[in-house]
Amino acid sequence: MKTIHFEQDDDIIDIRKDNIFKAVFARGTEPSMIALSKLVSALIGREVEIENIVANEPSVDNVRDRQLRFDINCRAENGELVNVEMCFYPKPFEPVRLEFHAGKLFIGQDIRGKDKGYNYLKRAYQIAIMANRRFFENESFYHSFEYYDPENKISLGGKTRIITLELSKLEKVVEKSVNEMDTKEHWAVFLEYLTDTSKRDIINEILEREEGIAMAGKVVQTISRDEEERARIMRDEKILLDWYSEMAYAKQEKQRLIEETRREAQAQGLQEGRQQGMQQGMQQVARNLLSEGLPIEVIQRTTGLSTETIQSLIIDRIVNGL
């Protein structure tokens, strides 16, 4: 493969964004599959070859399903299960969410049948690469969690692992020479500093040393230079951000109206007035959300109003020419 090299003035797309990460590693092309295999191998600590992507939703060509995270659920050639995800804006509950999904990944295996049993279960890895937030107090950017008895210092030796990579902890790592970095550090620096032009020499040196990272760099370079594809990804990212913003606004508006209605009801001292005011407040929230073009099911979940009530508000808007 021709060596990948980024020029100082190259405008490189940010691979840390959830949808970009998935677009790079879940294409199914040879460079993409090699990159994914090498990334997983580096993080679990031994060589594995990703054979196929089990679940690829939302697809790499459609990032409009806003309810799903951009994870890559794949299977290695030895049957082991791996779920990899980039969390650009991880939530405070991320660790427990990872534990939940690691459990689901493991128990999703079929061990029914006379020739199967618990020994048939394959290892399952839930991998989260997290940007913009520190979760664990120590300075290590890499953690591998398993069931463990801390009092007696005994591992259960089970087949599930939760692996995290905290990209916000690389200040000291990136100061090392590339020769001194291990493969995990190479990957972490590549992901975190790819768009940082001041670190471009370091990135290029890593690309020369790591085949998997070079493959990922090749895909990133292709996306970055393809104006149509880049525009599509940026457009879809804007749709996502707009939707999250609308939901945040709806939540804030709902809370504001609840508080406003509560104060008015308390001042009047009338339970009936409180209930009526709450209903009116939720209807006003629904009107606002309808004007933003949100679907009925989202408005229903946000306000708690019945479908019939929301439909009547739609009819009112039509009659009044809104």
Residue closest to 133 by CA, chosen among 109, 83, 98, 168? 168
What pLDDT, in 10s, does the model give residues 118-143? 888 999 999 999 998 888 989 999 99
pTM: 0.69
Whole-number pLDDT of residue 196? 94
Which of 12-26, 171-185, 294-308 is the least confident region? 294-308
What pLDDT, in 10s, does the model give residues 161-217? 999 999 999 999 999 999 999 999 999 999 999 999 999 999 999 999 999 999 999
- Alpha-carbon span 72 to 70, nearest angstrom: 7
Whole-number pLDDT of residue 241? 62
Long-range contacts of the stretch 303-310 (C-beta < 8 A, 24+): 303/254, 309/283, 310/286
Burial class (CB in 10 A: 0-12, 13-18, 19+), 172: exposed
Q: What is the DSSP string of 99-167?
A: HHHHHHHHHTS---STT--GGGPPPEEEEEEE-S---SSSS-SEEEE--EETTTTEE---SEEEEEEEG
